[in-house]
Structure 1
Amino acid sequence: MKINPKHGIDKLLFGMKQNDVTALYGKPDRNYKDEDDNIIFAYNKLKMRLTFYKEEELKLGYIVASSPELELFGYKLINRKISAVKKDLVTKGITKFTQEEFDTFENYFNEENWIIFQTEFDEVVKFEIGAIINQKDEFDWKFTKK
């Protein structure tokens, strides 16, 4: 599954509605609301959790994924050493990360692309990507109805 920075993952584009996603991937394995009343879709086979923001007309705004099939610029991510992943990303100009630690986990956040690599024991176990917020402080939605 190809990660498309600032756009989404695979066929998923930020700004899609729930029916757009179910047309692509079918009904989710789980469908629930979080503490902010956002709608969450969970797809077991894809190993992805999708968040549709209540405050944004329930548009897809955030994806958490842990599939070993994830690729960013052709590089696999999951179960690789974070040092190797970061070295690969340098070749694509992605060098700035804010690092945060909690328990045995560490997050490496790149704000420019709104991506997070979550590691445990120095290996990437989870990837997160969110819709970009533009200069006008609004979401930069990538999906447009045809």
Structure 2
Amino acid sequence: MNIQLKHGADRLLFGMKESDVKALYGEPDRKYKDEDKNVIYLYNDKKVRLTFYQDEEFRLGYIITANNACKVFDEKVIGEEWSAIMPKLEAKGIRAFEKENFDSVDNYFNEANWVIFQVEFGEVIRIELGATINARDEFDWKF
């Protein structure tokens, strides 16, 4: 599963509708609505959580994955040491990270690419990726 910053992951592109995702991945293992009435899909085999934004005509706007095959810039990420991944990201121009701590987890957030690397015990355990906002203060849909 390749992460394409600002675009999506695997064959998923930000802006897809539920029917587009089902055409690629089939029915989700679980589907529910969050407190904001966004639709959430869980695909267990892919270890991915997809959020379709209610206020954006249910377009795919957020992806969370813990898939061990996940790559960023063709580099394996999940299960790798953050201290080894961060320099590789910086070499590709992904430099500004805001760090937040939650119990044993550190979140490294890069706003320009709307990506969060979750790190526990020094190892990347999860990636959160969101659709970015353009200069007109609108989502920059890729689909």
**2:32 matched to which residue of 1?**
32
Deviating 4+ runs (over 3 angstroms): none
Deviations 1:4-61 (A, max 9, x none): 1100001000000000000000000000000100000000000000000000000000
Deviations 1:84-107 (A, max 9, x none): 110111220111100000100010
1:14-29 correspondence runs (5 A): 14-29=14-29
AA matched with 1:113: N
Matched length: 143
Q: TM-score, normalised by structure 1?
A: 0.97
**1:74 matched to which residue of 2?**
74
1:81, distance to aligned residue in structure 2 (A): 1.0
Alignment partners' CA distance in 1, 2:49 and 2:102: 21
1:80, distance to aligned residue in structure 2 (A): 0.9
Q: Secondary structure at the match of 1:112?
A: helix
Deviations 1:95-130 (A, max 9, x none): 110000010001000011100000111110000100
Deviations 1:48-86 (A, max 9, x none): 000000000000000000001000001111111111110
Alignment partners' CA distance in 2, 1:140 and 1:94: 19
AA matched with 2:54: K
Alignment partners' CA distance in 2, 1:12 and 1:42: 14
1:1-146 correspondence runs (5 A): 1-143=1-143
Q: C-alpha root-mean-square deviation of aligned residues, in Å?
A: 0.5
Which residues of structure 1 form unaligned runs of 5+? Answer: none
AA matched with 1:87: P
Q: Secondary structure at the match of 1:90?
A: helix
Alignment partners' CA distance in 2, 1:95 and 1:81: 17
- What is the aligned-residue identity percentage? 57
